[in-house]
Amino acid sequence: MTETPQAPLNPDDLAALREASTATITTQLFKLGLRNTFLAGLTRVTADSPRMVGEAFTLRYIPAREDIDTLDVFDDYDHPQRAAVEQVGPGQILVVDCRGEGRAASAGNILLTRLSVRGAAGLVTDGTLRDIEEIGRLPLPVYATGAAAMTNLALHHAVDLQVPVGCAGVAVYPGDVLVGDVDGVVCVPRHLVAVIARQAREQERLEAFITERVLAGAPLRGTYPADAATLRAYEESRLAATAKD
């Protein structure tokens, strides 16, 4: 499959998404009418890893078949699963479509270690992982549904790289941007990154201001959502902070 080159993303937009929570980003996408962008049911396996932001590199599994998916297929270094790991570039996130099937792992520690060394921005799967204790110590952000000891060949057959996939019920296209935090993972369609990134950053700053007011005893009425007076106070605080800098 020949890929159409995609225009580079603005680094400031990616930085803005890195400042925003997945909750904020889903709200911004909801404003545009997108309701199915959060990959529900995934948890962050690597608790000490940083917030995840990167472009999707996709891998699709179909159900395994016993006469094809035998252990000796892994002797082939060009096996699609291994090829995916070796092709994911720095700043990209390997997104694995496991059809929500978790009885066999989608990958293990050695492959994820290789991803980490290659500078990948993360791994997201709607399946499970094996060697979960070792994976948990990686600096690589990793999201999965849980752990399973069984090899992926028992239930998964890797077929496609860099095609649209469904992961945790969400359509993910190659080059879409995934953002992950402790709440989970959200998929931002690539063409909407520039539309929502700075709005998400602004929402985060406004909500931080509102939280300070709520902590100080302000009632919800007039504060959340912010009325005109609260918005004026927010703008004044921003101008004062800018002047101080």
Structure confidence at residue 241 as a pLDDT band (50, 70, 90): confident
Residue 2 pLDDT exceeds 60:
no
What pLDDT sits at residue 4? Answer: 63
97 in Cβ contact with 59 (< 8 Å): yes
40 closest CA partner among 197, 185, 230, 190: 185
Query: CB 90: neighbour CB atoms within 10 A?
Result: 9
Stretch 97-114: mean pLDDT: 98
pLDDT at 221 over 60: yes
Say how far apart CA 160 and CA 143 lie, in whole Å: 20
pTM, 2 dp: 0.94
**Residue 1 has what pLDDT?**
45
- The stretch 117-142 carries a mean pLDDT of 98
Over residues 99-115, the mean pLDDT reads 97
158-212 residue pLDDT tens: 999 999 999 999 999 999 999 999 999 999 999 999 999 999 999 999 999 999 9
The per-residue DSSP string of 178-241 comes to EEEETTEEEEE-GGGHHHHHHHHHHHHHHHHHHHHHHHTT--STTTTTT-HHHHHHHHHHHHHH
* Average pLDDT over the chain, rounded to an integer: 96
pLDDT classification of 88: cutoffs 50, 70, 90: very high
Helix (H, G, I), strand (E, B) or coil at 16: helix
Long-range contact set of residues 128-135: C-beta below 8 Å, sequence gap at least 24: 128/98, 128/102, 128/103, 128/104, 129/45, 129/105, 130/105, 132/45, 134/109, 135/45, 135/46, 135/108, 135/109
Report pLDDT for 3. Answer: 57
Q: What tokens were used for 221?
A: 């009425």
Question: What is the DSSP pairing of strand 184-188 with strand 177-181?
Answer: antiparallel
Query: Model confidence over 18-75: pLDDT tens digits?
Result: 999 999 999 999 999 999 999 999 999 999 999 999 999 999 999 999 999 999 998 9
User: Percentage of residues in the chain with pLDDT exceeding 90?
Assistant: 94
